[in-house]
Amino acid sequence: MNQWSGKRVVVMGGSKGIGRSIALGFAAEGAAVAICARGAEALASAKAEMGPSSFTGQVDLADADAIAKFLPAAAKALGGVDVLVNNASGFGSADDEAGWAASVSVDLMAIVRASQAALPFLQAQPGGSIVNISSISALRPTKRNPPYGAIKAAVMHYTASQAKMYAASGVRVNCVAPGSIEFPGGTWERRRTEDPALYNGTLAQIPFGRMGTPEEIAEVVLFLASSKARWVTGQSIIVDGGQLLGP
Q: Are 8 and 20 in contact (CB under 8 A)?
A: no
Residues 6+ apart with CB under 8 A from 118: 10, 71, 75, 81, 84, 130
148 is catalytic: yes
Q: Are 238 and 179 in contact (CB under 8 A)?
A: yes
Q: Which of 148, 158, 166, 199 is catalytic?
A: 148
Residues 6+ apart with CB under 8 A from 106: 61, 62, 88, 89, 90
Spatial CA neighbour of 14 closest among 66, 81, 86: 86
Distance CA 96, CA 1 (A): 51
Neighbours of 146 (CB within 10 A): 18
By CB neighbour count within 10 A (0-12 exposed, 13-18 middle, 19+ buried), where does 41 fall? Answer: exposed
Q: Are 56 and 77 in contact (CB under 8 A)?
A: no
Active-site amino acid positions: 148
